[in-house]
Chains A and B, each alone.
Chain A
């Protein structure tokens, strides 16, 4: 058995404190862009920015060291953890008949698919978000998009949707599906998106 010197005992707490460390590994992005992570110290000062897929930054003792890792190695190394990520949310887009809150026939056919998707996911929840085209002032469109979402929500409730899993919102004209100038009527932009999470 190794005998510890007095110096060894004194150094032990310092070594333990030095062991406290954290690490970030940046994975390949879902659509090719890895994005980035800024590494700050506890006071908020930037130590490093990690922006290469596969890079690993380790922080200990107030400084960060970065080493490159093959981005394919990221998926292999963290396979179990990544497998525990929930399924990505799925978006359904419903369009409306002109001057009506009634969905088009094509959109009505989607309703069954929405219910099927909810059944497939354990602990599913829904976001129902309305959108408008660029006709009219922004504040009016914010309110109108929310009404559109509420109409669909109300309809889905009448079809048996669980009321406790729904969140509704209105995005107004912020997220156009078809890019148009202001004050442009567009059936593609007048829509409700049902996002199943």
Chain B
């Protein structure tokens, strides 16, 4: 077997810091931010989302994000959604994605986590829980 080249080792090493990523903001407009450690961080395309972050949009704000398992999300105005836990294995493409939609409205197109395990993608709300199994949904919490 071929021995791994130094270039490849370097590539792996350099790719490591980005692995805290669970997803990235692709679009944001109006008042839209991520709340992290009590601070509100303004959003722009490319913003890196981490586990524990809360996406917050104002009365005219909206934001779109793609997660590393290809889950896609669009948040409408007046939304507050926390990405509580996100585990993902790049080799098996299985994991678990739990978020909490406190209020507002989001569209979600599920990704690999939901595709590879029908129990693994959950959106909790103050009153109940949704388990998303390979679907395109709109969730609304008033």
**Contact surface of A with B, Cβ cutoff 8 Å:** 19-30, 33-42, 44, 47, 59-60, 62, 64, 74, 78, 80-89, 101, 121-125, 127, 129, 140, 142, 144, 146-147, 150-151, 153-155, 157-158, 163-172, 174, 195, 197
Query: Given known contacts A142-B91, A154-B11, is B105 in contact with A35 (CB within 8 Å)?
Result: no
Q: B26 to A87, Cβ gap below 8 A?
A: yes
Q: A169 to B91, Cβ gap below 8 A?
A: yes
Top 7 A-B pairs ranked by shortest CB distance? A123-B45, A169-B90, A123-B46, A35-B135, A122-B45, A84-B74, A150-B8
Give chain B residues whose Cβ lies under 8 Å from the Cβ of A129: 90
Q: B133 to A157, Cβ gap below 8 A?
A: no
Is B142 at the interface (CB under 8 A from chain A)? yes
Query: Given known contacts A89-B66, A167-B90, is B139 in contact with A23 (CB within 8 Å)?
Result: yes
Is B38 at the interface (CB under 8 A from chain A)? no
Give chain B residues whose Cβ lies under 8 Å from the Cβ of A24: 130, 137-140
Identify which of A39, A47, A197 contacts B70 (C-beta below 8 A).
A197
Docked complex: B7-66 residues within 8 A CB-CB of A = 7-12, 14-15, 17-19, 21, 24-27, 44-47, 62-66
Supplied contacts A85-B109, A153-B11, A167-B68, 20 more A-B pairs, CB within 8 Å: A22-B126, A24-B139, A25-B137, A36-B133, A37-B130, A41-B128, A41-B129, A60-B127, A62-B127, A84-B63, A84-B74, A85-B74, A86-B64, A122-B26, A122-B27, A122-B45, A123-B44, A125-B66, A154-B10, A167-B18
A182–B18 alpha-carbon span in the complex (Å) = 35
Give chain A residues whose Cβ lies under 8 Å from the Cβ of B68: 127, 167
Give chain A residues whose Cβ lies under 8 Å from the Cβ of B21: 125, 167
Q: How far is the CB of B24 from chain A (nearest CB, A)?
A: 5
Give chain B residues whose Cβ lies under 8 Å from the Cβ of A82: 74, 107
A165–B128 alpha-carbon span in the complex (Å) = 36
Docked complex: B97-142 residues within 8 A CB-CB of A = 101, 105-107, 109-110, 125-142
Chain B, Cβ-Cβ closest to A19: B142
Q: B62 to A22, Cβ gap below 8 A?
A: no
Query: Given known contacts A20-B142, A122-B46, A168-B11, is B134 in contact with A80 (CB within 8 Å)?
Result: no
Q: B132 to A125, Cβ gap below 8 A?
A: no
Q: B130 to A39, Cβ gap below 8 A?
A: yes
Chain B, Cβ-Cβ closest to A197: B66
Identify which of A44, A80, A86 contacts B129 (C-beta below 8 A).
A44
A178–B62 alpha-carbon span in the complex (Å) = 41
A78–B105 alpha-carbon span in the complex (Å) = 10
Give chain B residues whose Cβ lies under 8 Å from the Cβ of A151: 5, 7-8, 11
A110–B78 alpha-carbon span in the complex (Å) = 42
Q: How far is the CB of A66 from chain B (nearest CB, A)?
A: 13
Q: B127 to A22, Cβ gap below 8 A?
A: yes
Identify which of B15, B62, B127 contacts A59 (C-beta below 8 A).
B127
Q: How far is the CB of B19 from chain A (nearest CB, A)?
A: 7
